[in-house]
A and B are shown apart, each in its own frame.
Chain A
Amino acid sequence: MEFLLVLGLPLLGGIALAATGHWKRAAEINSAFSLFTLLAAIALTLRIVEHGPQLLFEEQIFVDPLNVFLVALTAFVGFTTSLFSRPYMRIEHDHGRLSATRLRLYHSMFQLFTFTMLLALTTNNMGILWVAMEAATLTTVLLVSLYRTAASLEAAWKYFILCGVGIAQALFGTILLYFAAEKVLGHDVALLWTHLDAVKGQLEPTVLSLAFVFLLVGYGTKVGLVPLHNWLPDAHAEGPTPVSAVLSGLLLNVALYAVVRCKVLADGALHSNLAGLLMMGFGLLSVVVASFFLSRQKDIKRLFGYSSIEHMGIVTFAFGMGGPVASFAGLLHMTVHSLTKSAIFFAVGHAAQKCGSQLIEQIRGLIKQSPTVGWGLMLGTLAILGMPPFGVFASEFLILTTAMKAQPWATPILLISLGVAFAAIFGKVQPMVFGEPTAKRLPHKPAMLPVFMHLGLVLMLGLWIPPYLAEWYRQAAKLIG
Chain B
Amino acid sequence: MPGAQGLLSIDWMVLVIAAWLAIGIGAIFAPRNFPYISRVLYPAGALVGLLLAVAAFAALNQTPETMVLPLGLPDLPFHLRLDSLSALFLMLLGACTAGISIFAAGYLRKAEGTAPGVQCLQYHVFLASMALVLLADDAYAFMVAWESMALSSFFLVTSDHRIPEIRRAGYLYLLIAHVGAISLLLCFGVLQGNGDAGVAGYTFANMRGIDHNAFWSSAAFGLALFGFGAKAGLLPLHVWLPEAHPAAPSPVSAMMSGVMLKTAIYGVLRVGFDLLHHPLWWWGVAVLTLGLVTALFGVIFAAVQSDMKRLLAYSSIENIGLLFVGIGLTLTFQSFGMRALAALALTSVLYHCLNHAAFKSLLFLVTGSVLHATQTRNLGKLGGLIHYMPWVAWLGLLGVLSSAGLPPFNGFVSEWLLLQAFLFTPGLPHGYINMMIPVAAAAVALTAALAGYVMVKFFAVIFLGQPREAKLNQAHDAGRLERSGLVWLAALCVALGLFPVFVIEKLDSVTRLLLGTGIYQAAGEAARAHGWMYLAPISPDRASYAPVVFLLSILVIVAAAYLIVRRFWHIRVRITGAWDCGFPMQTARMQDTAEGFGQPLRQVFEPFYRMTRELPSSFDKAPVYRVVVEDHLWYWLYLPVAKVTEFGARMVAFLQQGRISIYLLYSFVTLVVLLFLIHG
Contacts and interface: CB of A to CB of B under 8 A. Distances in A.
B667 interface: yes
Contacts of B164: 431, 435
B663 A389 contact: no
Contact of B151 (A230, A292, A382, A411): A382
Interface string B204-233: 000000000000000100000000000000
Contacts of A294: 649
A405 interface: yes
A183 to B, nearest CB: 20
A331 B219 CA distance: 29
B671 interface: yes
Interface stretch (B100-108, B192-200, B476-484, B546-554): B192-200
A43 interface: no
A95 to B, nearest CB: 27
A465 B678 contact: no
A406 interface: yes
Contacts of B143: 388, 393, 397
Contacts of B175: 419, 422-423, 426-427
B151 A387 contact: yes
A227 B182 contact: no
A393 B678 contact: no
B372 interface: no
B660 A389 contact: no
B674 A213 contact: yes
A414 B679 CA distance: 29
Interface residues on B, range: 35 or more
A322 B418 CA distance: 49
Interface residues of A, number: 77
B467 to A, nearest CB: 34
Interface in A28-46: none
Interface stretch (A108-116, A154-162, A241-249, A448-456): A154-162
Given A161-B664, A325-B195, A388-B148, A434 B675 contact: no
B186 A401 contact: yes
Nearest to A290: B652
B462 to A, nearest CB: 31
B646 interface: yes
Interface in B145-197: 146-148, 150-151, 158, 161-162, 164, 167, 170-171, 174-175, 178-179, 182-183, 185-186, 188-190, 192-195
A401 B189 contact: yes
B638 to A, nearest CB: 11
Interface string A303-335: 000000000000000000001110010000000
A428 B674 CA distance: 36
Contact of A166 (B75, B167, B199, B667): B667
B273 interface: no
Interface string A283-294: 000000100111
B125 to A, nearest CB: 10
A419 B674 CA distance: 29
Given A227-B666, A231-B663, A434-B167, A217 B161 contact: no
Contacts of B652: 289, 292-293
A471 B74 CA distance: 9
Interface in B608-655: 645-646, 648-653, 655
B609 to A, nearest CB: 27
B322 to A, nearest CB: 29
A169 B185 CA distance: 38
Nearest to B178: A422
A214 interface: yes
A426 B173 CA distance: 12
B202 A401 contact: yes
A401 B188 contact: yes
A427 B172 CA distance: 9
Interface in A335-364: none
Interface string B121-146: 00000000000000000011001101
Interface stretch (B2-10, B65-73, B527-535): B65-73
A415 B182 contact: yes
Given A293-B649, A394-B140, A158 B170 contact: no
B670 interface: yes
A393 B181 CA distance: 11
B663 A295 contact: no
Contacts of A418: 178-179, 182
B664 A165 contact: yes
A233 interface: yes
Given A293-B652, A387-B178, A397-B143, A228 B670 contact: yes
B656 interface: yes
A464 B71 contact: yes
Contact of A296 (B146, B649, B674): B649
A281 to B, nearest CB: 9
Contacts of B161: 367, 434-435
Contacts of A404: 185-186, 188-190
The 4 A-B pairs with the shortest beta carbon distances in the complex, nearest first, are: A404-B189, A470-B74, A401-B189, A434-B161
10 contacts: A227-B666, A228-B666, A325-B198, A385-B178, A389-B147, A393-B143, A401-B186, A402-B195, A404-B185, A406-B195
Interface of A: 157-158, 161-162, 165-166, 169, 209-210, 213-214, 216-217, 221, 226-228, 230-231, 233, 274, 278, 289, 292-296, 323-325, 328, 365, 367, 382, 385-389, 393-394, 396-398, 400-406, 408, 411, 414-415, 418-420, 422-423, 426-427, 430-431, 434-436, 462-465, 467, 470-471, 473-474
Interface of B: 70-75, 139-140, 143-144, 146-148, 150-151, 158, 161-162, 164, 167, 170-171, 174-175, 178-179, 182-183, 185-186, 188-190, 192-195, 198-199, 202, 219, 645-646, 648-653, 655-656, 660, 663-664, 666-667, 669-671, 674-675, 678-679
Given A296-B649, A415-B179, A465-B73, 15 more contacts: A158-B660, A228-B666, A292-B645, A325-B195, A325-B199, A365-B162, A386-B178, A393-B144, A397-B185, A400-B185, A405-B189, A419-B178, A435-B164, A465-B74, A474-B74
